[in-house]
Chain A
């Protein structure tokens, strides 16, 4: 039986939401009848494509931690490791709607695909165009010739960031989708699990990893990976994770990447920095430049032990979208700003369009 700091498991998600709101009152609010949609206070606006990211709970700070100005407008919270329901997704979608369409972004899991598809149909009944984009960055979950079958894991961080930035720059729904597609195509992740997580309701380990062993390629819900091997050093594990990522991205001398070393829940920052040290060493040997790095917990798996390494191979656009300012509980880039001032000067202010006052154009 695992020990957890929880109250009644039936209230777990509502208490998680209450805690996120009490901790981040300037960033977050909720909207809709289900009470499961966390919405950016300063995110959705007329004329901007609404960005909705989501999935099950248990991955904090994903997904609601990335709700805020310049990134996602709303996130529906599912139960632990379970997709949100269509009603919960629709609450988020309607909150994010700025009459330019809504893009749902989520990892490639059967449940999420079904629920978001039903939510798309429901959004259409409300007169809102919603489209779905699934992330597929997990190298270990399917071979390269079945790339569309892959799961979405920590690398969805990069895809969400890029889509959020493109939308914040007033790109159209089709353009935001294309930006997400480019980010997803340029992103690869591989993880390693050292110890199991346990469901709060049962307290029982989801799987067993004996002492002295690790599982390469395990999913963020404890889905079995590709190999169970004796535990190895940080450098040896990093080499195992980096090799397929490096080869699939086809990194060449002079390429630039963004790096995410992500802790799965109970692995120390100290260990994550050791992994990053080796990642940086390998990239430096190949004369690949690191544009930016994030090291910490960005997409967890309850209290699972282990880590993942994600790389996004950058081009000028992806780099600019990555650098675009955002202000969310889990990620801040650049200085917070007024969204109206931040709009590109040659783009009409959407609020004044709404007010129908041509003098402002």
Chain B
């Protein structure tokens, strides 16, 4: 991949690398706060470690952001988070988020700052990286049931010239509704698939953590 010189990167948009770092720090804090709840959700239909797994990943991600050069672009920071998730986490969340962040970073490699369209492109990268790596589809009761409605909502908002803040708020709300909607679904993917109908009535922990991430990102840009 050829590296575009920093001076040639597109600088329009309010999401600077610094704001992006704040967004990532906010999502890490939100995941740490929700750790035990995510483990409880996972305990009901899985192996009970999702909160721990996400905590390990976001701790590694924060360390990677600390080590990244001050001049790092959003694309490079996303790449660093991807590597952190891949090397530190394992589980299924490791490869899924690693691929998501990698694809998200690649989607904005021509940007210094993100405007609405670029932020949505970044979210698309996240969602499709996760989808391609995991092979799940809408309705399988996975994190995609939060990610897919989130990017649909963000895309619609961006098409109506919404601000980044509004796009992220729409994504967060759709992710939250999507996560809650997984409660009524029967799992068709991963460990909980083995449960069949017994998976119904429990929210998917991966969808729940997705909603937490998007809410944190939205909250972090509220004052922009």
Q: Which residues of B contact A80 (CB under 8 A)?
A: 49, 52
Q: Known: A142-B194, A202-B35, A222-B43. Contact between A84 and B48, CB under 8 A?
A: no
Interface membership of chain A positions 70-92, coded 1 if the CB is closer than 8 angstroms to chain B and 0 otherwise: 00000000111111111110000
Q: What is the bound-complex CA distance between A223 and B46, given in angstroms?
A: 5
Task: Tell me if A110 is interfacial: C-beta within 8 Å of chain B.
Answer: yes
- Residue on A nearest B40 in the bound complex, by CB: A204
Q: What is the bound-complex CA distance between A149 and B191, given in angstroms?
A: 10
Q: Which residues of B contact A83 (CB under 8 A)?
A: 90-92, 94
Q: Which residues of A contact B190 (CB under 8 A)?
A: 110
Range of interface residues on chain B? Answer: 35 or more
Task: Tell me if B112 is interfacial: C-beta within 8 Å of chain A.
Answer: no
Task: Tell me if B80 is interfacial: C-beta within 8 Å of chain A.
Answer: no
* Cβ-defined partner of A115 (8 Å) among B36, B55, B90, B198: B90
Q: Is the CB of A79 within 8 A of B189?
A: no
Q: Is the CB of B47 within 8 A of A84?
A: no
Q: Is the CB of A149 within 8 A of B89?
A: no
Task: Tell me if A161 is interfacial: C-beta within 8 Å of chain B.
Answer: no
Q: Which residues of B contact A224 (CB under 8 A)?
A: 45, 195, 198
Q: Known: A78-B90, A85-B90, A199-B49. Contact between A141 and B43, CB under 8 A?
A: no
Q: Is the CB of A85 within 8 A of B48?
A: no
Interface membership of chain B positions 58-89, coded 1 if the CB is closer than 8 angstroms to chain A and 0 otherwise: 00000000000000000000000000001111
B49 to chain A, nearest CB (A): 5
Q: Is the CB of B39 within 8 A of A87?
A: no
Q: Known: A87-B86, A110-B190. Contact between A202 and B51, CB under 8 A?
A: yes
Task: Tell me if B176 is interfacial: C-beta within 8 Å of chain A.
Answer: no
Q: What is the bound-complex CA distance between A198 and B53, given in angstroms?
A: 15
Task: Tell me if B11 is interfacial: C-beta within 8 Å of chain A.
Answer: no
Q: Is the CB of B86 within 8 A of A85?
A: yes
Q: What is the bound-complex CA distance between A79 and B40, given in angstroms?
A: 18
* Cβ-defined partner of A199 (8 Å) among B39, B86, B90, B193: B39
Q: Which residues of A contact B193 (CB under 8 A)?
A: 149
Q: Is the CB of A84 within 8 A of B52?
A: no
A265 to chain B, nearest CB (A): 14
- Residue on A nearest B190 in the bound complex, by CB: A110
Q: Is the CB of B49 within 8 A of A114?
A: no
A77 to chain B, nearest CB (A): 9
Q: Which of A80, A85, A222 has the most CB of B within 10 A?
A: A85
- Residue on B nearest A140 in the bound complex, by CB: B194
Q: Is the CB of B91 within 8 A of A78?
A: yes
A331 to chain B, nearest CB (A): 25
Q: Is the CB of A82 within 8 A of B90?
A: yes
Chain A residues numbered 88-117 whose CB sits less than 8 Å from any CB in chain B: 88, 109-111, 114-115
Task: Tell me if A206 is interfacial: C-beta within 8 Å of chain B.
Answer: yes
Q: What is the bound-complex CA distance between A293 and B53, given in angstroms?
A: 36
A113 to chain B, nearest CB (A): 9
Chain A residues numbered 157-209 whose CB sits less than 8 Å from any CB in chain B: 199, 201-202, 204-207
Q: What is the bound-complex CA distance between A315 and B17, given in angstroms?
A: 63
Task: Tell me if A151 is interfacial: C-beta within 8 Å of chain B.
Answer: yes
Q: Known: A207-B44, A222-B47. Contact between A85 and B94, CB under 8 A?
A: yes
Task: Tell me if B105 is interfacial: C-beta within 8 Å of chain A.
Answer: no
Q: What is the bound-complex CA distance between A219 and B45, given in angstroms?
A: 11
Q: Known: A87-B87, A114-B92. Contact between A204 and B36, CB under 8 A?
A: yes
> Top 4 nearest A-B pairs by Cβ distance?
A221-B47, A206-B48, A82-B91, A111-B92
B residues neighboring A (CB under 8 Å): 35-36, 39-40, 43-49, 51-53, 55-56, 86-96, 133-134, 189-195, 198
User: Contacts A109-B191, A202-B52, A204-B43 given; 6 further ones with Cβ under 8 A?
Assistant: A85-B87, A85-B94, A87-B87, A88-B90, A115-B94, A206-B48
Interface CB pairs A-B, < 8 A, 14: A34-B87, A56-B91, A82-B49, A83-B92, A84-B90, A86-B95, A111-B95, A114-B133, A115-B90, A115-B91, A115-B94, A201-B55, A221-B46, A224-B198
